[in-house]
Amino acid sequence: MSQWVYSFSNAKKVPSKNRKNLLGGKGANLVEMVSLALPVPPGFTITTEVCSYFYDHEKSYPKELKKQVEEAAKEIEKSIGMKFGDVKNPLLVSVRSGARVSMPGMMDTVLNLGLNDKTVEGLAARSKDERFAWDSYRRFIQMYGNVVLNLDHHDFEEILEQHKRDVDVTEDTAITADGWKKVVAGYKAMVKRELGHEFPQDVMEQLWGAIGAVFGSWQSARAVTYRKIHDIPEGWGTAVTVQSMVFGNMGEDCATGVAFTRDPSTGENYFYGEYLVNAQGEDVVAGIRTPQSLTIKGKEKEGSHLSAMEEVMPKVFKQLCDVRSILEKHYKDMQDIEFTVQQGKLYMLQTRSGKRTAAAALKIAVDMVSEKLIDEKEGLLRIEPQALDQLLHPTLDPMAHKQIIGRGLPASPGAASGEIVFSSDRAEELAKAGRKVILCRIETSPEDIHGMHAAAGILTTRGGMTSHAAVVARGMGRACVAGAGGISIDYKRKVMIVQGAEIPEGDIITIDGGTGDIMLGAVPTVQPKLSGDFATIMGWADKARRMKVRANAETAKDAQTARGFGAEGIGLCRTEHMFFDPDRIQHVREMIFADGEGGRKAALEKLLPAQRRDFVELFTIMKGLPVTIRMLDPPLHEFMPQGDNEMEHFAKVAKLDLETVRRRFAELHESNPMLGHRGCRLGITYPEIYAMQARTIFEAALECDVTPEIMIPLIMTSTELNILKALVDITAEDVFVKAGKKVSYTVGTMIELPRAALMAADIAQNAAFFSFGTNDLTQTTLGLSRDDAARFLPTYVGKGIFEKDPFSTIDKDGVGQLISLAVKNGRAANKSLKVGICGEHGGDPASIAFFESAGLDYISCSPYRVPIARLAAAQASIRDKI
């Protein structure tokens, strides 16, 4: 018989490696805490396998489940001495989701389950607090009503607000036990009205309802969106954890809180967290009440006047500090914890690896290595390479004039400018149109995920450092200023009111998530100054990685950036980019219009000095390093004049009549330019173009200290390479003889067509290197035009046909198969073959992991992604050896 349910105590039998997959992150971590003898309320977990079963069997459960749940519930009753549905001593439970990885706020939770018209009286009697009992019951009805019965949150809120108005109070805390009874009666009446039946009184019915809702929430729209953004497979499923309730809201000796064992923004090693006295956990996370700091240090840092837990509950705080230390030693990582204090007793509800900013990730890794908690390799693995992106991009120019209009909490670092928008839908709409937006909300909720993802920055007027907006923004690497209390937002009129003035939607503001500043207009930015931690981490990465990292660059600026970020050469210099300069494009066009080889040569001669200067500049910057130069690749029509004005101008300067220009342009049209007359096909049909390019490269190289690597694009047969390599060699010989000196150089190929990969053994015989052009290789292997795929790719990702966009992360199964084959056969034919990749996948960590396993010698990516690639390559190298 399959075991579908594990109690926390018996779950220790599940090997720790499988625990997360089977029990979800939350369930697994509760079990860990139980084994560390930390105070965890008893409970059990229904495995993720039940979730898979649920969706594979038309939302039904395995037949053994009912019995197993009932037995596990009995075990809780036994261990805690309370009974589910017992009118005297009722057991209350929470029902929570828990996937293999954390998806904060994405799925449903039900608390206080087990209350009904009878048990509420039992709870009142046991707790000697009637008000607490009825408050709990109304919370339960509200949550269950919303999550399980799909009733509108607002319908409940309205009843509550009406009651407050009736009794003339403003705070929930001012409502009496009788008041809560009235609210409960109102709630129940509304439920009956809306659904046609009573709110369920049978506690087991309540439990199964909640379990079904949690499994159902795995496929909620917001969860699906979150998984897409975070690349979480559909198939993983969620577990459901049922745990006996503890109460942070049973009085002033109760509290609830969330904490990070270190500062998740900066990484500083101090106990960072928030708590609320007499509250339930969601009060902290939702950002409705302003939470108080755990520590005096934290209170001072934030300039808060509210007492720290350290002051208010010193004994429990001490206990919590011990827990912090035990957990960090056990997990060897910064933890994000939830706790509740019930009548002076501490309970741990959750621990998990804490989300952090890139800067914090670096600092925590570096600190933990010096604290000898982890070693350098483990430190490297702790950092999400993509997150470095945050550090590498410009920050606000400290010297710039700033019109600061408000300030909030520095919830997620980074600076961002953009148009104000007030809804997530609008944010997404404008972002799709290529506009940068700042999403401004009173507070955010999981429904805002798509808008937060689309926005350059997020501003909220309510909520703390652990509010939804703050946590999600940090996870996404978006700049965020939270809880900017001085600002109010009017959604209806689409304005933000700041110091009496109104700022309408569409106006531009700048936010600095590192300081909390909000500024009018777009503030200029400067290059980031990278921290010492960054250098330390990069140093470890460079020691750990096997693959070299190069950059794709052709301009001096890009080459300088790349070298600054540690690029070890240029892996792709696209020579055609040098042709678009206004001074040169005329000559390029003249070449295209030339009659025969002679005319083309004459036009090329005019281009030669400029292109040689470019190469000298590039080679000077890259001194001592290899530079891979790709010969002209795009089809000639890309250089043609566009529109009537350009055509007329060109015709005039070139002394051609306009009709000829138009006709020639029409002649160059191709049905499928991607598969057309481009790449080495140009070199084969117009050898003079490649000869000119080779000449300028060699003449420039003679002045500098580099090893030019000449790369022939779009090879499909070895014969093409043989013909063009001979052309390059003859040109080199000619230049060297005239100059009376030589430089060393090599000739290799792009592998960017399936046929080239299939024929690698042949091609390698005459190639010094292969560089995989994964953009085109993806297009041809999948028969998928990158320019046209947008029309159906979202449907493809949505229906699970592709897990990820194959232009972002390499299609390992298909394209990867060709790469592995080409590497194997190419090396077998030519032992000294150097193999790299210069497609855009070169900067994608998941792809880099594949390139490591495929045994590539180097990866080349855009300059700003070089540090990411260095780290990802190191991680891949470390993981490959495990």
3-state secondary structure of 368: helix
Q: Is the dihedral of CA 587, 592, 595, 600 positive or negative?
A: positive
By C-beta, is 127 or 219 nearer to its own copies?
219
By C-beta, is 403 or 719 nearer to its own copies?
719
What residues does 629 pair with on adjacent strands? 573, 710
Pick from 350, 781, 847, 877: which binds its own copies (CB under 8 A)?
A: 781
Tokens of 690: 């490649």
Would you count residue 753 as binding its own copies (CB under 8 A)?
A: yes
CA-CA distance, 558 to 565, in Å (whole number)? 10
Pick from 274, 328, 590, 720: which binds its own copies (CB under 8 A)?
A: 720
Would you count residue 752 as binding its own copies (CB under 8 A)?
A: yes
Tokens of 166: 């009736």
Pick from 56, 787, 831, 882: which binds its own copies (CB under 8 A)?
A: 787
Would you count residue 719 as binding its own copies (CB under 8 A)?
A: yes
Would you count residue 79 as binding its own copies (CB under 8 A)?
A: no
Would you count residue 677 as binding its own copies (CB under 8 A)?
A: yes
Part of the chain binding its own copies (CB under 8 A), chosen from 344-352, 746-754, 849-857, 858-866: 746-754
Pick from 2, 343, 642, 795: which binds its own copies (CB under 8 A)?
A: 795
Part of the chain binding its own copies (CB under 8 A), chosen from 27-35, 139-147, 304-312, 783-791: 783-791
Pick from 314, 532, 609, 800: which binds its own copies (CB under 8 A)?
A: 800
Q: How far is the CB of 434 from its own copies (least distance, A)?
A: 18
Within 13 Å and on the Cβ side, how many CA atoms surround 668?
A: 20
CB 693 within 8 A of CB 575: yes
By C-beta, is 504 or 800 nearer to its own copies?
800
Would you count residue 818 as binding its own copies (CB under 8 A)?
A: yes
Part of the chain binding its own copies (CB under 8 A), chosen from 232-240, 639-647, 793-801, 830-838: 793-801
Pick from 579, 627, 583, 637: nearest CA to 745: 627
Would you count residue 171 as binding its own copies (CB under 8 A)?
A: no
Pick from 63, 529, 655, 799: which binds its own copies (CB under 8 A)?
A: 799
By C-beta, is 383 or 818 nearer to its own copies?
818
CB 289 within 8 A of CB 342: no
Catalytic residue (choose from 468, 587, 637, 841): 468
Q: How far is the CB of 447 from its own copies (least distance, A)?
A: 25
CA-CA distance, 698 to 745, in Å (whole number)? 9
Alpha helices for 455-544 (secondary structure H): 468-476, 532-544
Total number of residues that touch its own copies (CB under 8 A): 49
Q: Is the dihedral of CA 840, 843, 848, 850 positive or negative?
A: negative
By C-beta, is 616 or 821 nearer to its own copies?
821
Look up residue 507 and give its amino acid. D
DSSP 8-state code for residue 836: E
Would you count residue 783 as binding its own copies (CB under 8 A)?
A: yes
Angle at 868 between CA 867 and CA 870, to 5 degrees: 60
Would you count residue 724 as binding its own copies (CB under 8 A)?
A: no
Catalytic residue (choose from 573, 680, 838, 861): 838
- The H-or-E segment that residue 866 falls in is helix 866-881
Part of the chain binding its own copies (CB under 8 A), chosen from 54-62, 125-133, 455-463, 790-798: 790-798
- The H-or-E segment that residue 5 falls in is strand 5-7
Contacts of 310 (CB under 8 A, 6+ apart): 294, 295, 296, 317
By C-beta, is 363 or 725 nearer to its own copies?
725
Pick from 152, 502, 788, 880: which binds its own copies (CB under 8 A)?
A: 788
Would you count residue 717 as binding its own copies (CB under 8 A)?
A: yes
Q: How far is the CB of 776 from its own copies (least distance, A)?
A: 7
CB 234 within 8 A of CB 327: no
Would you count residue 829 as binding its own copies (CB under 8 A)?
A: no
Pick from 55, 270, 796, 864: which binds its own copies (CB under 8 A)?
A: 796
CA-CA distance, 42 to 30, in Å (whole number)? 9
* Alpha-carbon distances of 677 from 217, 631, 672, rounded to whole Å: 52, 14, 10
Pick from 200, 524, 754, 855: which binds its own copies (CB under 8 A)?
A: 754
**577 annotated active-site:** no
- The H-or-E segment that residue 434 falls in is none
Backbone angles phi, psi at 654, to 5 degrees: -85, -5
Residue 711, Cβ neighbours under 10 Å: how many?
A: 28
* Alpha-carbon distances of 327 from 276, 463, 841, rounded to whole Å: 22, 27, 37
**51 annotated active-site:** no
Q: How far is the CB of 773 from its own copies (least distance, A)?
A: 10
Within 13 Å and on the Cβ side, how many CA atoms surround 863?
A: 15
Q: How far is the CB of 423 from its own copies (least distance, A)?
A: 24
CA-CA distance, 386 to 273, in Å (whole number)? 26
Part of the chain binding its own copies (CB under 8 A), chosen from 279-287, 362-370, 674-682, 850-858: 674-682
- Binders of its own copies in range 697-716 (CB under 8 A): 714, 716
Pick from 381, 723, 797, 829: which binds its own copies (CB under 8 A)?
A: 723
Angle at 14 between CA 11 and CA 16, to 5 degrees: 105
Angle at 9 between CA 3 and CA 11, to 5 degrees: 40
CA-CA distance, 60 to 342, in Å (whole number)? 37
Residues forming the site for its own copies (CB under 8 A): 670-677, 681, 684-685, 714, 716-717, 719-720, 723, 752-755, 758-759, 762, 776, 779-785, 787-789, 791-792, 795-796, 799-802, 811, 813-815, 817-818
- Residues recognised as catalytic: 468, 838
